[in-house]
Amino acid sequence: MMHNLALRNLRARSLRTAILIALTALLSLTICGGTLLVSGLQRGLGSLEARLGADIMVVPYEARTKSNLETIVLQGNPGYFYMDRSRYEKIAGTEGIAQISAQFYLASASSGCCSIPVQIIGFDPETDFTVTPWMKRSYEGTLQNGDIVVGNDLNAFPGDTLQFYGVECHVAAKLEKTGTYYDSAVFTNEETIVSLIQSSLDKGMNDFADTDPAKAVSAVLINVADGYSPEEVMNDINIHVKKVKAVQTKEMIAGIAGSLQGTSDVIGLLIAAVWVLGLVILLLTFSMQMNERRREFAVMRVVGMSRRSLAWLVMQEALLSGACGAVIGTAAALIGMLSFRSAIGAQIGLPFLLPGTAGTAGLALGAVMAVMLSGAAAAACTAYRISQIDTARILRGDNG
């Protein structure tokens, strides 16, 4: 009955209840949405860092501008630029290189699987050290000619066949979600990509200017040997190899990570501000109801409700509306984040990777709990004050 009474009171004051629910919903929306946003950004960057796995990236000189490089490294829109393989040999001759591997980027014409052209990334399984380690997580074998590995966003599955430039490719594996451009890319070995290039040229669809496509590479990835600093090696390459630009990828990420930290801090501060504001408004709303209903609370005391039960009644009302709002707000944040995650990533131009199901669920639960707890704290103050009312004094006058 007590429980029922709380519900009855909430229903009878539907406007105030609606406001309370909306307020807590907004609070949990901010907390849950904000935390998801921050963690999505941080995880996206972390994922990118892990996937990049190279100290230095060398690209043709045409691609040297800062914005160009950032697009390549951070947003992963591999530019379509090429240099001659001879340059790769030159770079490889630099002192202090532990691992070196070339990659080839090719834009596909639209294919059956995808509404947008996908990026085809060719790598050399012999030397590769950036793609393979993480590909191994979903694919055990070695890529045969004509085999491709597809990113998580592509609507293709192992066993499927996709056509690029008329060449039939066999889907050997599908990668886990990374939140980076790898999700919408296709990976294949060098021989396959050479045949793709060839047929694209046959169809008159690509222009490689004066580079011989059979000998072209798009980028060279380098890991520096122990005892050498990436900076030295980078400078060495920039000085000694012509028409290329070497950059330290991890340093670029570190720069972004720094500004991302700033963004996270701002979002964190906003969350805190909304939280405090929400708490204050909750407190005000609660104490308004206390004044408005003090005569009613006095009646409860007259008919034999103890101070403790009266406080609990007030708590129940607050907790019920708070739980309702917290769940609605958190659900809205989850739905919003999950359905717009790609749009969010595209909008901010950074990889965006939400935590997995368990992580997201934990976060959502945390948001619900946080809002419930603050609501409970605000309600507890009011409940205590209401339980301490001077019944006789309130009842004395007609208007209390």
Partner 1 sequence: MTLTAKQLSKEFPRKSRTSNCFTALCPLDFTLEPGKLTVLTGRSGSGKSTLLNVLAGLMQPTQGQVLADGQDLYAMPDVALSEFRNRHIGVVPQGQTAVYSLSLLENILLPVTLFRRPSDAEQQRAQLLLTELGIVKLADVPPAELSGGEMKRMAIARALLPQPEIVLADEPTADLDEENTDIVFRALQTAAKNGAAVLAVTHEQGAERYADRVCTMHNGILEG
Ligand X SMILES: Nc1ncnc2c1ncn2[C@@H]1O[C@H](COP(=O)(O)OP(=O)(O)OP(=O)(O)O)[C@@H](O)[C@H]1O
| Dihedral in degrees, nearest 10, Cα atoms 203, 172, 192, 94 | 130
User: Minimum Å distance from CB 290 to partner 1?
Assistant: 15
**Cβ-closest position to ligand X:** 393
Question: Which listed residue (210, 393, 394, 400) binds ligand X by CB under 6 A?
Answer: 393
Q: Please, which of residues 259-318 interact with ligand X by CB under 6 A?
A: none
Per partner kind, with CB cut-offs from 5 to 8 A, the member of partner 1, ligand X, none near residue 304 is partner 1
Write each residue from 2 to 41 as x if it is in contact with partner 1 (CB under 8 A), else as -, in one continuous string.
x--x--xx-xxx----------------------------
Residue 19, class by beta-carbon neighbours within 10 Å (0-12 exposed, 13-18 middle, 19+ buried)? middle
Q: Which does 223 bind (CB under 5 to 8 A by kind): partner 1, ligand X, none?
A: none
Q: Is 298 in the site for partner 1 (CB under 8 A)?
A: yes
300 binds partner 1 (CB under 8 A): yes
Q: Which helix (H) or strand (E) holds 84?
A: strand 83-84
Phi, psi values for residue 342, rounded to 5°: -65, -40
Please work out the total of residues on this chain that contact partner 1, with binding judged by CB under 8 A.
32
Closer residue to partner 1 in complex, CB, 141/304: 304
Q: Are 220 and 105 in contact (CB under 8 A)?
A: no
Residue 40 contacts residue 32 (beta carbons within 8 Å): no
Distance of closest approach, residue 300 Cβ to partner 1, in angstroms: 7
Shortest Cβ distance from residue 381 to ligand X (Å)? Answer: 24
How far apart CA 349 and CA 385 sit, in angstroms, is 51
* Chosen residue from 145, 259, 306, 347 binding partner 1 by CB under 8 A: 306
Rounded to whole angstroms, how far apart are CA atoms 104 and 125?
Answer: 13
Concatenated DSSP letters for 322-356?
HHHHHHHHHHHHHHHHHHHHHHHHHHHTS------
Smallest distance, partner 1 to C-beta of residue 322, A: 19
Q: Could you tell me which residues are beta bridge partners of residue 188?
A: 122
Residues in Cβ contact with 289 at an 8 Å cutoff, skipping those fewer than 6 apart = 13, 16, 382
Which CB atom, from 209 or from 303, has the smaller least distance to partner 1?
303
Question: Which of partner 1, ligand X, none binds 397 (CB below 5-8 Å, type-dependent)?
Answer: partner 1
State which residue, 92 or 299, has the beta carbon closest to partner 1. 299
CA proximity to 103, closest of 278, 7, 221 = 221
- Distance, in Å, from the CA atom of 145 to the CA atom of 195, rounded to the nearest integer, reads 10
- The helices-and-strands tally (H runs, E runs) of the chain is 12, 11
Give the nearest distance from C-beta 299 to partner 1 in angstroms.
5
Angle between helices 357-387 and 307-348 (to 10 degrees): 150
Answer for the pair 296, 396: CB distance below 8 angstroms, yes or no.
Answer: no
Helix axis angle, 14-52 relative to 249-292, nearest 10°?
A: 170
Of the candidate spans 123-131, 264-272, 293-301, 340-348, the one that interacts with partner 1 by CB under 8 A turns out to be: 293-301
Q: Which is nearer to partner 1, 144 or 306 (CB)?
A: 306
Q: Toward ligand X, which CB reaches closer, 335 or 392? A: 392
Return the number of the residue (8 or 136) whose C-beta is nearest partner 1. 8
Q: Using the rule CB under 6 A, which residue among 50, 377, 396, 400 binds ligand X?
A: 396
Task: Give whichever of 82 and 297 is closer to ligand X, judged by the CB atom.
Answer: 297
Site for ligand X, rule CB under 6 A: 393, 396
Site for partner 1, rule CB under 8 A: 1-2, 5, 8-9, 11-13, 295-296, 298-309, 390-393, 395-400
